[in-house]
Structure 1
């Protein structure tokens, strides 16, 4: 019933309680109760006597059929799309749980909202309903952890490619897994693994991309951020944006499987937002100052310090402009 109601309210227009009740097959009082569920999702609902209910600005709901229709021919047959969920704790958690019966190919998990979305180091990823993109793609690798070197950077390259197809330029990467626009965070990546560390292993590639962040949510974000709405002005539907991301992500992953990170290194380097800049690299134990010299063939950060140029691998690290 909630899905039908959200679809009716998606146009942003007023709908009378009577019309909504007729469409749902319930009484007007039952419609009011359903509206409480809509508000519980974090959506703003206007109620005006004599006119009915509306969600100002409408709701840009994801459309599974249009999503699949937007996949390129070389991508569509490789993706097993899971039902689009209105709300779930985490798409990554759902993907990890799904490994128990993972068939050949890869699965795509998508949610309109996450209630326990995570970034790196356990940080919360703010996930307002039907505003941004929260998705996880599973991928199987056959050569263990060694085959995953540089994977988070490769995902960043793929997202850059997808954004360029949408006409979004001037986006940079921040080692090891963020996308920035003018030094403000646009997207983040969270990788999680299950399986044999030395053999076949399954990886969850979790992505959060800011599309149309409600401004009232900004107080919950602890760093400068930006969304596609601010960058582009008029943004395609979130369904179209997600199709573009997947159309870029799948072939880039296939390229990574064949060539490793070294084949994509130059593309990542060209978009490195901290290249040749003084930075501070923070780990759980240390804070290291130096100059960012990009990454090596395995995707490790190259930091020039007083002791020379050292390579730092992924883990509990973050990078900030000095």
Structure 2
């Protein structure tokens, strides 16, 4: 048997955890050792490490180990276990508390962090939303994370990356929770007219080359109560589903879906945009926006290939909106 000399401990933990998750019955230390090609001592050490991370693993003499409980906590080994992506999220940076996962992703991008690197925190002290707004990120209840994307994984129309991220989150929420999530253009995720997720995309580029893109995603997962000023506009998956939602499962689904969408968009952008439009709650509704400092209302009728919201004014003319605040009738209490 090949011993575990020089083997990555994180990888061993992932493999031990995955093996236990795939076997409901007891698994002997000998079987784990033989299947994973590591020593019995390494198995024992990694079992104890998993226990210290919150996993409850029974051990019975002459029978082996059995996974009894998986925590709703976030750690690299928990994220990597069962993550079905090629690059997205394979390099994980976890923090108990940080100023902003986007800020950390940008710092690490300059230090050479790889494409698909994931930066995730239990709490953000300086989280930001679109247009410089503060994004509340309480500890232990939500998913607050950023993904670093290098040029090779980016679509030609890079400005659409924020829409593609919104589609990935929306599809993942619908798949995992069955909640009727929709997208408010460009990338807010709403359920029943209230916001459950915000996405902030930041880019570093030179004149002829994009250095990197950071996609920051904040999701209210298991928040039970909101401050009075937010309760009209904000909701959580727990509130909408009536039960807690597994944060890591949702994260893994989003990463997998985002990677798929980025790949598919390169070959068939029309199909991906059609998928986006079916989930865009802004379309066919009255929207408000500002044009040349003048507040206007119109009907949203389409999304352009460049990701713009196309609206039809009262006189029949079409306007393409590519930035700024757009209100939608019936969303966030708008009438």
Compute the TM-score of the two structures, normalised by the length of structure 2. Answer: 0.71
Match of 1:37 in 2: none
Question: How far does the alpha carbon of each residue in 1:75-103 deviate from its partner, in whole angstroms, 9 at most, with x for none?
Answer: 15543433310111100111111111335
* Equivalent residue, structure 1, for 2:200: 190
Matched, 1:247 2:251: no
Q: Secondary structure at the match of 2:298?
A: strand
Q: Check the 8 A contact 1:302/1:309 in 2, yes or no.
A: no
Q: Does 1:65 align with 2:77?
A: yes
**Equivalent pair of 1:168/1:231 in contact (CA under 8 Å):** no
Is this contact kept in 1: 2:88–2:118, CA < 8 A?
no
Task: Please say if 1:238 is aligned against 2:279.
Answer: no
Please state how far the C-alpha of 1:70 moved relative to its aligned partner.
Answer: 2.5
1:200 corresponds, among 210, 229, 243, to 210
Report the equivalent of 1:291. 299
Does structure 1 retain, via aligned residues, the 8 Å contact 2:313–2:319? no
> Contact 1:137–1:206 at 8 Å: present in 2 too?
yes
Report 1:55-204 matches (<5 A). Answer: 60-72=72-84, 75-141=85-151, 147-204=157-214
Give RMSD over aligned pairs. Answer: 2.8
* Cα distance change on mapping 1:94 and 1:283 into 2, 3 Å: farther
Aligned-partner SS, 2:227 = helix
1:274 matched to which residue of 2?
Answer: 282
Q: Give distance in 1, aligned partners of 2:315 and 2:153.
A: 34
Say whether 1:306 aligns with 2:318. Answer: no
| CA distance 1:195–1:169, shift in 2 (3 Å) | same
SS at match of 2:243: coil
For residues 220 and 284 of structure 1, what CA distance do their matches in structure 2 show? 30
* CA–CA distance in structure 2, aligned partners of residues 143 and 200 of structure 1: 11
* Partner residue in 2 for 1:226: 235
SS of residue paired to 1:221: helix
Q: 1:310 to 1:170 in 2, by over 3 A?
A: same
Secondary structure of 2:249 counterpart: helix
Change (3 A) 1:153 1:294: same
For the residues of structure 2 that align with 1:70 and 1:294, how far apart are their CA atoms? 37
Contact 2:201 2:213 in 1 (8 A): yes
| CA distance in structure 1 between the aligned counterparts of 2:105 and 2:158, rounded to whole angstroms | 18
Structure 1 stretches lacking a partner, 5+ long:
1-6, 12-58
Cα offsets for 1:91-124 (capped at 9, x unmatched): 0111111111335432100000000101000001
CA distance 1:104–1:124, change in 2 (3 Å) = closer
Cα–Cα, structure 1 residues 8 and 141, in superposed 2: closer, same or farther, change >3 Å?
closer
Give 5+ residue unaligned stretches, structure 2: 1-50, 56-70, 330-334
How far 1:238 moved relative to its partner?
1.4
The 8 Å contact of residues 96 and 122 in structure 2, kept in 1 or not, is answered as yes
Partners of 1:277 and 1:139 lie apart in 2 by 33
Count of matched residue positions in the alignment of Structure 1 and Structure 2: 265
C-alpha distance in structure 2 between counterparts of 1:124 and 1:316, whole Å: 17
